[in-house]
């Protein structure tokens, strides 16, 4: 007999390898699939202030593809996890770009794609073809009404991101507005840099020059994050667009209405994307080619 339930035991060695690493953490809920008293899969939910993150789901390899009462183990575990949380709780989840299955399951449960996370450890450049980026999905506890300083060239993407759950009023800085920002946190690796730009005292020229100084011939991607509730975002995102950056993610208010823009320098892929994800990618302005496609997904390669 197969059942899904909350993990309440003390012996974490019973859990699947990755899920066991989360056990004992603060504000963490773990669900497990049990067959004949053996734990064959598990899921992890981390509860943050204002939202929950479906961190991880794992089924032992020998049980993948199995079903319980006509439902795949992965979907049964997802349904249990969602039932365990309040209906009005905002939920975040990620899906790998290497397999469309998780994307389909999440989207069938009311999640929408907000964009792409170009993780430095999952770059997927040719030197690391086993990698990939993450697809960010959200199911908001209530519809969001957002006021955003976003220029015309980026609005098609922002309109498409979480379009069923978010209404947007676009703003322009007032005539008396004076640009002011600063580069805050930096994440610089041998292949990529990612910068957070926040309100500050530096001019637009100083910000763009600072980003230029971070560039390297080894970068496969450059990523800049900014909060669209800040007026400086209007001019900065327009300037970055002119330099070849494109919008790739637009998170909800619970994480700061963060607009992520990226520039890719090397061919990236192959990735399996659901039709809904491809629809959003079409609005980024990123160049890509389709390698293969069917009704469930398209295999694409991103091009610089």
| Most confident range, picked from 125-134, 235-244, 247-256 | 235-244
Note the pLDDT of residue 288: 92
Look at strands 192-199 and 221-227 and give their pairing.
parallel
pLDDT tens digits for 249-290?
Answer: 999 988 888 999 999 888 877 888 888 889 999 999 999 999
pLDDT tens digits for 9-20?
Answer: 777 777 777 777
Note the pLDDT of residue 119: 57
- Please tell us whether the domain made up of 2-143 is placed in CATH 3.30.70.960: no
Evaluate if residue 168 carries a pLDDT over 90: yes
Look at strands 298-303 and 287-293 and give their pairing.
antiparallel
Distance in angstroms (rounded) separating the CA atoms of residues 265 and 302: 10
Confidence of residue 176 (pLDDT cuts 50, 70, 90): very high
Short-list 213, 260, 208, CA closest to 239? 208
Q: What is the DSSP letter of 171?
A: -
Beta-sheet strands, E only, within the chain: 2-6, 28-35, 38-48, 51-59, 67-68, 71-72, 90-96, 112-117, 134-139, 144-148, 166-170, 181-188, 192-199, 221-227, 246-250, 258-264, 268-273, 287-293, 298-303
Give the right CATH number for 146-271 from 1.10.490, 1.20.120, 2.60.98, 3.40.630.
3.40.630
Confidence of residue 177 (pLDDT cuts 50, 70, 90): very high
Q: By CB neighbour count within 10 A (0-12 exposed, 13-18 middle, 19+ buried), where does 266 fall?
A: middle
What is the pLDDT of the chain when averaged over all its residues? 85
Q: Is 27 left (phi over 0), alpha (psi -120 to 50) or beta?
A: left
Evaluate if residue 121 carries a pLDDT over 50: no
Note the pLDDT of residue 6: 82
| Shared fold status for 2-143 and 146-271 | yes
Evaluate if residue 123 carries a pLDDT over 70: no
Instruction: Identify the residue with better confidence: 219 or 303.
Output: 303
Question: How many whole angstroms from its chain centre is CA 87?
Answer: 21
Mean pLDDT of 184-204: 85
Confidence of residue 124 (pLDDT cuts 50, 70, 90): very low
Q: Is 269 left (phi over 0), alpha (psi -120 to 50) or beta?
A: left
CB distance 253 to 144 below 8 Å: yes
Note the pLDDT of residue 57: 80
Strand partners, 195: 186, 224
Q: Among 119-123, 221-225, 232-236, whose mean pLDDT is lowest?
A: 119-123
Note the pLDDT of residue 126: 40
Instruction: Identify the residue with better confidence: 128 or 254.
Output: 254
Give the HSE-up count for residue 257: Cα atoms under 13 Å, Cβ half-sphere: 19
| Most confident range, picked from 49-63, 94-108, 116-130, 201-215 | 201-215
Mean pLDDT of 52-62: 84
Handedness of CA 182, 252, 297, 46 (dihedral sign): positive
Note the pLDDT of residue 117: 79
What does the domain layout of the chain look like in residue ranges? 2-143, 146-271
Note the pLDDT of residue 217: 65
Evaluate if residue 130 carries a pLDDT over 60: no
Residue 175, SS3 per DSSP: coil
Note the pLDDT of residue 120: 42
């Amino acid at each position: 007999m197969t059942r899904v339930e909350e993990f309440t035991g003390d012996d974490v060695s019973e859990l699947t390898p990755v899920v066991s690493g989360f056990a004992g953490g603060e504000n963490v809920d773990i669900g497990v699939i049990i067959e004949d008293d053996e734990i064959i899969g598990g899921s992890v939910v981390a509860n943050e202030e204002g939202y929950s993150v479906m961190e991880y789901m794992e089924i032992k390899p020998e049980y993948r593809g199995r079903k319980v009462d006509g439902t795949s183990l992965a979907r049964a575990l997802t349904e249990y996890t969602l039932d365990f949380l309040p209906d009005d709780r905002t939920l975040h989840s990620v899906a790998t770009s290497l397999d469309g299955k998780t994307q389909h399951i999440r989207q069938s449960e009311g999640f929408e794609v907000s964009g792409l996370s170009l993780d430095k450890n999952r770059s997927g450049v040719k030197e690391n073809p086993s990698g990939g980026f993450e697809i960010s999905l959200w199911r908001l506890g209530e519809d969001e009404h957002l006021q955003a300083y976003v220029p015309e060239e980026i609005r098609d993407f922002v309109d498409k991101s979480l379009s069923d759950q978010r209404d947007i009023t676009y703003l322009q800085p007032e005539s008396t507005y004076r640009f002011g920002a600063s580069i805050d946190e930096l994440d610089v690796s041998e292949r990529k840099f990612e910068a957070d730009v926040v309100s500050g005292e530096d001019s637009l020229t100083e910000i763009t020059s600072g980003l230029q100084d971070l560039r390297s011939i080894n970068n496969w991607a450059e990523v800049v994050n900014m909060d669209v509730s800040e007026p400086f975002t209007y001019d900065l995102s327009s300037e970055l667009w002119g330099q070849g950056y494109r919008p790739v993610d637009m998170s909800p208010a619970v994480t700061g209405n963060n607009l992520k823009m990226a520039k890719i320098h090397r061919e990236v892929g192959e990735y399996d994307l659901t039709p809904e994800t491809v629809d959003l990618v079409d609005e980024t302005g990123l160049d890509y080619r389709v390698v293969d496609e069917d009704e469930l997904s398209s295999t694409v390669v991103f091009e610089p």
